[in-house]
Amino acid sequence: MAPPPILSLALPSETGRVLSIQSHTVQGYVGNKSAVFPLQLLGYDVDPINSVQFSNHTGYPTFKGQVLNGDQLWDLIEGLEANGLLYYTHLLTGYIGSVSFLQMVLKVVDKLRSINPKLTYVCDPVLGDEGKIYVPQELVAVYREKVVPVASMLTPNQFEAELLVGFRIETEQDGRKACDFLHAAGPSKVVITSLNMSGSLFIIGSHQKEKDQGSVQFRISVSKIPAYFTGTGDLMTALLLGWSNKYPDDLKKAAELSVSSLQAVLMRTLEDYKKTGHDCESSSLEIRLVQSQDDIRNPETKYNGELYT
């Protein structure tokens, strides 16, 4: 008796099939918990591999759990391959805590592209923020020398972009230069997801549609919200994957939709915490993802980009 077909392969969605290698928390929304549900709402089949499984994110007073090592990651990949399940249109990666695991991720990229040469690899190079590195220093060189060249889209924050390009980003022109530097190294799409200059918060996006040609670049100004949230970078990168695949030649539109969704989620989160009387500037806030699903599926575009000329 023949086994039943794998419907996500036999009857694939119009959007795609995503393998997402990120952290997982039992409670709260970071890593895969922040990325999988939004992508599913946008119509993607998503298969998560949890690089860690923790009780909660590490900002709490304590946490418990397990860490997946590189050999265990490869065991999962081999199990999928043995059953003919390793065809993916997209790979998404976020926080990775060791060089050995990151090197195994590179092996996964090669394996997935041997099966689907058109695989889109969306990489959030989680290295640090606001001048502080929170991964082992040696990871920076591996990202710069090995990961960036094989990525299709890169979504660093300002500090991470500085680490990858090797110079400070102090002006918008520096940000645009950093995008072009990264294009030359590999990815055709780059979004620096948060730049803070002279009290203004904005993103810079850049799409180099053909190698050795100029890039289309834009900025989107973002409202500052007086609170700190966890999982926002993971959510933003997932949204950028989702919308940029729907609008492959219009990264500005994809970023406008992504930013509009993210800001709606954060505003709802802030409002809900305020209802409890919580001082929202006293600790990091868990985003209200389930309650914001309409804003994820059908965002109202409130943040519009400006093309650089």
pLDDT the model gives residue 178: 98
Residue 203: the pLDDT is 98
Low-confidence ranges of the chain (pLDDT < 50): none
What 3-state DSSP class applies to 147? helix
Measured CA to CA in angstroms, residue 102 lies from 125, 141, 207 at distances of: 11, 11, 26
Integer Cα distance of 237 and 194 in angstroms:
12
Distance (Å, whole) CA 203 – CA 219: 6
DSSP 76-139: HHHHHHHTT----SEEEE-----HHHHHHHHHHHHHHHHH-TT-EEEE----EETTEE-S-THH
| Spatial distance between the Cα atoms of 128 and 27, rounded to a whole number of angstroms | 23
Residue type, 162: E
Catalytic site residue from 234, 249, 250, 294 = 234
CA atoms within 13 A on the CB side of 94: 27
pLDDT digits (tens, 9 = 90+) for 228-239: 899 999 999 999
Is the CB of residue 91 less than 8 Å from the CB of residue 110? no
**Kindly report the CA angle at 151 between 249 and 19, in degrees rounded to 5?**
90
Q: Record the tokens describing residue 286, joined without a space.
A: 């868990």
Q: What is the pLDDT of residue 67?
A: 92
Closest alpha carbon to 108 in 137, 85, 77: 77
Residue 185 has a pLDDT of 96
Quickly count helices (H) and strands (E) in the chain: 10, 14
CB 135 within 8 A of CB 127: yes
Is 110 considered catalytic here?
Answer: no
